[in-house]
Structure 1
Amino acid sequence: MSQPQAVLPGQPIVPIISAKKKAKYLAGRNCRIENITFNGSGVPSIVSSVVGKTSITKKEPLETSNESDKSDSYDEYVVNVFSKHDPEYVSPEDGTSEFNYVPTLTSSTPKLNDLVLARVMKVSMDRVKVEIISIDADSEGSHVNAKELMLANFAANENNERFKGIIRSVDIRSTERDKVKTWQCFQPGDIIRAQVISLGDGINYYLSTAKNNLGVVLARPSGENTFAESGKLLYALDWQTMIVPETGDLEQRKCARPF
């Protein structure tokens, strides 16, 4: 596995032991050691604590007179992560201390017709209140480049708060709109995919789920279900029904068509 040149907080960089390279890695600046689960096993690894660029340097070996110890020993390397706030970091390309972040987040705000992921916060009789957690860069006509979304769940306003959204009952589905019951379509905590249909009133974006590919994409059992506190996921059976696999209990949602 190649070692990343640029990393995000919490991103693994390299295992602390590489038997193939006979190398041992030590955590340096802006790094920590965590157990990373890989193929069902915990692998102690060096993990980044900041956004920055990696630097791996070899430690000078200690003097030893035993040749067999030299052949069996592991070379030691120190892993550092340097951010633009570290004055000692020098870019190997041009010899300057300038650091350019890959993500560009300043202009990434929801626009008309964008697809967004949102978390349901409150359900009332005629509307559903949500908070927008990210913009779908793969949606057709999206103004956001995929590289700008390397930091997931970034969508926030100038006050570092989530953008808010409202889904009116008439915008939940495209058929029988006057018969929609919001609490049968969404529950607080559901993660939904929705489309921006209006920039709203200056506080809330107006969203819609009235397409087959829009609606609930991730949900857990509601409070009335015995599995509500177990952390189990619901699975969609059709566009308006989800199931608890362990019990066979059904719950109503306005489901998004799977990818």
Structure 2
Amino acid sequence: MEKDKKHFVLVHTVGHGAWSWYKIVALMKSSGHHVTALDLGASGINPKQAFEIPHVSDYLSPLMEFMASLPADKKVVLVGHSVGGLAISKAMETFPEKVSVAVFLNALMPGPNIDASSIYSEAFSAITSQLDNRVTYDNGPTNPPVTVILGPKFLAANVYQLSPIEDLALATTLVRPFYSYRVEDISKEIVLTSKRYGLVTRVFIVGGESKAMKKEFVQFMIEKNPPDEVEEIQGSDHVTMMSRPQQLFTTLLSLANKYS
């Protein structure tokens, strides 16, 4: 069994934390697999505050440090949810030899031909003005926003609309503000090449009823940067790990067995 054990590394989206994977972590552990759910900078129980990590490298450092600590002969299944797709893309570029397959779950999927900063800008502008999402500014509203926090109405309508009400309640209690990174910072920090990022097998999982990203935007990323495979989980909202945990677990296990 040890030989068949997979190691899954789960990366959350903005505002969230390792806690958002609790159902998947339980399913993986009870099936005998290794699983690491990380808190990125100023997320989950990470002690930093959003304003203390003004560079995207600070936000990504928990994942990058974890990947660096893995033995050279170990490979993991990297799973990035939503904006977590940017984090796993950076890890793929830096440590391609340590990733057996990278899974983009309703995620931002940049690549050598699709700049990380442009899709980040698109996703960011789509949420800042919605419903009760709150933006804070440094030195007045004429300056760019500094932090954003997702509001309960936005979470209920666009992210957790098909998830159990308990999970929405959990999210409204635990979401934290996230830093609004400069486009130039993202462009500099996340540079992806065919020679490294391109070596890693990529799979995109679409939540059939996800509302947080427009379908046209998802299609654009898939067409511009084609993954090796596209899977769809029917009846899933944006947080597939909450609304369809069993289907997601089965899909992840199947992909891990196929590509590692």
TM-score range, shorter chain: under 0.3
Query: Higher relative contact order at CA 8 Å, sep ≥6: structure 1 or structure 2?
Result: 2
**Whose helix fraction is larger, Structure 1's or Structure 2's?**
2
TM-score (norm 1): 0.22
TM-score (norm 2): 0.22
